[in-house]
Amino acid sequence: MLSLQTLLNKIHGSSTIDFGDLFNESVLLFKKVWIQGLILQLLTAVIMLPAFVGFYIPYFKLVLNMSSNGVIDSPDFIPELISSYGISDLLWLYLFLIVVSLISYVLCLGFFRAIRQIDQGEAFIFSELFYFFKSASIRKSLGIGVTYITINIIAALLYFLPLLYVIVPLMYLLPIYVYNSKLSISEIVKISFALGNKKWGITFLTIFLNTMLIYVISLLTFGLGGIFVGCFIYLPQYIIYKKVIGFDGSKFDV
């Protein structure tokens, strides 16, 4: 495993990445891992389904009832919403959303593990997607997820620009942890922000364009296409990591 200082030196000494090359390599990699990406999207949808059903069905019923009474645009809507759910029910629902978000996050860690294995010509094993749920790594994996959520919340409280800024460094938490899991959480965060700062522009551009691409495909296919290509948004992170830091040829250290 590479040391913290070695990783930082690689980041600071990295050269410019061409956007065209990055996109083309992302497409080539997508052709290799789209099945695993589809599995990831389906598993995430199954995990998130109870949360969406529990919140949005009562929400839409309330909206329909209140819109017919002309209350939807009035100041009474929020109190009615809270009254309809109950404060305790809303708190439990948001807590449940956080839990399923953490589970989805840990699944994404397994996807990054699968990406590297497939990219190196190794056979994909379905259980690898659940690798970070093992007792040896689940505690730290959840810690990474909690760190991700906490930084997002702090940035959101500081308003729009800080939130916009941290989007990029936080996206590197996943590959940096997966490929350097012996590092501490604080070291992983430090490297993520170093890489995010160094490659902020090209990362943000690829995130934006890939999100728009997935959105357009979803619209044209009534949402089905988004399930097939949703994993595409993660691939530039892997390629940038590979170009900037690379792998030392060793197996995973978890």
Give the pLDDT of the chain (254 residues) as one tens digit per residue: 678 899 999 999 999 999 999 999 999 999 999 999 999 999 988 887 776 676 666 666 666 665 655 555 555 555 666 666 666 666 777 788 888 889 999 999 999 999 999 999 998 889 889 999 987 889 999 999 999 999 999 998 988 888 899 999 999 999 999 999 899 999 999 999 999 999 999 999 999 999 999 999 988 888 788 888 989 999 999 999 999 998 865 555 54
Question: What integer pLDDT is reported at residue 254 of this predicted model?
Answer: 44
d(CA 243, CA 235): 12
Question: What integer pLDDT is reported at residue 247 of this predicted model?
Answer: 84
Q: Do the domain assignments include residue 125? A: yes
Q: Do the domain assignments include residue 157? A: yes
Q: Do the domain assignments include residue 249? A: no
Q: 175 near 132, Cβ under 8 Å?
A: no
Torsion of CA 248, 251, 253, 254, to 10 degrees: 150
Question: What integer pLDDT is reported at residue 101 of this predicted model?
Answer: 87
Q: Do the domain assignments include residue 58? A: no
Q: Do the domain assignments include residue 179? A: yes
Question: What integer pLDDT is reported at residue 32 of this predicted model?
Answer: 94
Give the number of domains in the chain.
1
Q: Do the domain assignments include residue 152? A: yes
Q: Do the domain assignments include residue 90? A: no
Q: Do the domain assignments include residue 73? A: no
d(CA 207, CA 213): 10
Question: What integer pLDDT is reported at residue 98 of this predicted model?
Answer: 85
Provide the residue range defining the domain that includes 176. 4-41+110-244
d(CA 229, CA 232): 6
The backbone torsions φ and ψ at residue 86, rounded to the nearest 5 degrees and listed phi first, read 95, 135
pTM: predicted TM-score of the whole model, two decimal places: 0.84
